[in-house]
Structure 1
Amino acid sequence: MIIRILGEGQFDLTDVDEAALQSYDDEVEKAFEAGDENAVHTALTQLHDFITAHGSPVADDFLGASDVVVPGTDATIAEIQELLSGEGFVPNGG
């Protein structure tokens, strides 16, 4: 799975623990649904940290599409809402 973090690049998370990734994604969604902007940004930062710690950076010349797009940690609530699929950023099941 290739995940793009807007403003940071793409990361290959092919061998990542998908349940762990999903748990971070779920926390962003829960915070967003609760309308807690501080919690949204905290959860989004934790999601970013997981992606960058466990993913491998994709080469700049990679021409393939991203499977998932995640906003930067400085994204507004409106920007976050545009990217949420109704199942978080990462659809359940991969």
Structure 2
Amino acid sequence: MIVRIMGEGQVRLDDGHLAGLNKLDDELLTEMRSGDEEGFRRTLGALLDAVRSLGVPLPDDSLEPSGLILPSPDATLEEVREMLEDDGLIPG
């Protein structure tokens, strides 16, 4: 699966990692719903770090269709709330 991190680029991520990333996505959804800004920042950072470390970066000049789009590390809680739309960022 191709994952885009907004403002950074794309990585190729093995589908086998999605189940593990879902745990962080569930935490992010809970923190977003409760308005837990500190937890939200921590979990968003952990989710992005996991995608970066597990994925293989695509060249900057490559533009592949993204199966998943993640917010930038500096996205606000409200911006991510709009992206989540009650389903989370990672497909179940």
TM-score with structure 2 length normalisation?
Answer: 0.88
* Counterpart-to-counterpart distance in 1, 2:55 and 2:16: 7
Aligned pairs (5 A) from 1:47-62: 47-62=47-62
Look up the match of 1:90: 90
Number of residue pairs aligned between Structure 1 and Structure 2: 92
Q: Choose between structure 1 and 2: higher helix proportion.
A: 2
Look up the match of 1:5: 5
Look up the match of 1:66: 66
Q: Say which SS state the counterpart of residue 50 (structure 1) adopts.
A: helix
- Following superposition, the deviation at residue 61 of structure 1 comes to 2.8
Q: Which amino acid aligns with 1:28?
A: L
Which ranges of 4 or more aligned residues in structure 1 deviate by more than 6 Å? none
TM-score with structure 1 length normalisation?
Answer: 0.87
* Counterpart-to-counterpart distance in 2, 1:20 and 1:55: 13
Q: Which amino acid aligns with 2:66?
A: S
Q: Which amino acid aligns with 1:3?
A: V
* Counterpart-to-counterpart distance in 2, 1:72 and 1:64: 18
Taking only the aligned residue pairs, the percentage that are identical comes to 39
Computed over aligned residues only, the root mean square deviation of the Cα atoms, in angstroms, reads 1.4
Q: Which amino acid aligns with 2:23?
A: S
Is the 2:13–2:54 contact (alpha carbons within 8 Å) kept by the matching residues of 1? yes
Segments of 5+ residues of structure 1 without an aligned counterpart are none
User: Deviations along 1:46-81, whole A, 9 cap, x unmatched?
Assistant: 001100000000122323211111111211122111
Look up the match of 1:30: 30
Segments of 5+ residues of structure 2 without an aligned counterpart are none
